[in-house]
Amino acid sequence: MLQSKLLILLKALNRKEKALLNRFVNSPVYNQHKEVIALSNYLLSLQDFTERNTSKQRVYAHLFPKSKYDDLRLRHVCSYLLQVCESCLGFIEYQNNAEQHQLNLLSAYRKHALQKHFVNDFLLVEKSTLVESKKNTNYFLYHSKIFHEAQFSGYYERLNSLDYLKKSDENLTLFIVLNKLKNGCYLLSSATANTTPKPVFIEEALSFAEQYDLNKLPILDCYYCAYRAFEYPDQRPFFTLFKDKIASLAVTIEHEELKEMLGLAVRFCERRIEEGASVFERDLFEIYLLGLANEAFIENEKLGYSFQKKIIDLGLRLSEYEWVLAFINECNAINEKALKEDIFLLHTAKLHFAQSTISDCLQKLCRLSNQSLELQIEAQKLVVKSYENLKDSKQEKLANQQLKQLIKKAAVNYEDT
């Protein structure tokens, strides 16, 4: 069961989400099977999922201790729990999306002919649009739909139907243009060269953006500069504008939108660095710092190892040793318990290597456990570099042989999965 959709989903949940799932499972609205409650309680009680404690026989014996193993029966219980988990995830997204919640409510009021309720809530929505609030691309789509609801609600006390239709169309246009500019950035960031002609949809989006008063809508201005930066990568001013606008918008746009902007900036810098423009390493470092300051790289209360590795490697290349040490300690506080010590040892070993204290580096590396093959391979590569630095050819050759064995083992494991 270790690679089942259910266990992969449960493993991805954070502490708060697991607590909410427990309430869902125990609610008759979402679940009426006592076996599902027992399965949920068992799986959520495990500190870690292993082949042994999540084997079908082990789980079945826990649920039905007096019954002979029945694979179909177990599948049914797991399927029911998976449905509850998916309902819980959908609820979490719904609760976190105020615009979608409001849209659904207005739609329900309109369909049930609850005109007074519709008017009261719609007036609140109109008022909120005038207040400075965090926005994202989807904000304009939801408001387009909200004004569309108003157009067909029969509510004409302050504005006529044509005015609502106009507002709906304006918001929808902004949503479409923003998406086109973002898609254009992704197309250019993945293209091998920027010599291909612009798609028609990009020309339309650029034309609209240039006619619009960009000062009135900073989010559109930001993506316009982003596209121009990708279109003219050798002209640094557009990228500088893009980077500065992200910094100015960081506290005024929604979390997911900030992640998209930072992601585009990271892709731009990485591409320029690959092309040999090492000056962008400092820009990339500053972008990472901005993202960290705004928790834009946190996923489920965790900072992924791959991201930690990228920023630590970059920080060491830039000789930001004090900052890297502080960052390593911060990461250690939020890393998952099972690999916390190994990740900490590997990161500090890298720091020692960068500072040319090779003996301390090797001392840290020899303390790693064998829990993660990925970390073992990364550590062994550093061992090879360390002996190469020490000019110890005998140990370097031995370390290379061990590295090849680990890589071969990883390849076998990949084929098995």
Lowest-pLDDT choice from 71-75, 91-95, 290-294: 91-95
Taking CA atoms, 175 is separated from 34, 170, 185, 253, in Å, by 46, 9, 16, 15
Predicted confidence at residue 146, as pLDDT, reads 85
**What per-residue confidence (pLDDT) applies to 364?**
94
N-terminal to C-terminal alpha carbon distance within the chain: 13
Tokens 């939801």 found at:
142
The model carries a pTM of 0.76
User: Does the pLDDT at position 295 exceed 60?
Assistant: yes
Residue 323 banded pLDDT, cuts 50, 70, 90:
very high
Q: Report DSSP state, residue 371.
A: S
Residue 239, burial from CB neighbour count under 10 angstroms (0-12, 13-18, 19+) = buried
CA angle 271, 260, 234 (to 5 degrees): 30
3-state helix, strand, coil in the chain (%, to 5): 75, 0, 25
Residue 334 contacts residue 302 (beta carbons within 8 Å): yes
Q: Specify the pLDDT at position 322.
A: 95
Residue 415's pLDDT is 59
Q: What is the pLDDT of residue 324?
A: 95
CA nearest neighbour of 336 among 12, 6, 9, 5: 12
pLDDT greater at residue 212 or residue 292: 292
Q: Among 1-5, 163-167, 201-205, 383-387, which range has the highest average pLDDT?
A: 383-387
Residue 334 in this model has a pLDDT that exceeds 80: no
**What are 166-214's pLDDT values in tens digits?**
888 998 999 999 999 999 999 888 876 556 667 778 888 888 888 888 7
pLDDT of residue 414: 64
Give the chain's mean pLDDT. 87
**Residue 195 pLDDT:** 60
Give residue 328's pLDDT band: very low, low, confident or very high (50, 70, 90): very high
Q: 402 falls in which pLDDT band (50, 70, 90)?
A: very high
Looking at residues 271-282, what average pLDDT do you find? 92
The pLDDT of residue 165 is: 86
Calculate the CA 63 to chain-centre distance.
35
CA–CA separation, 173 vs 178, rounded Å? 9
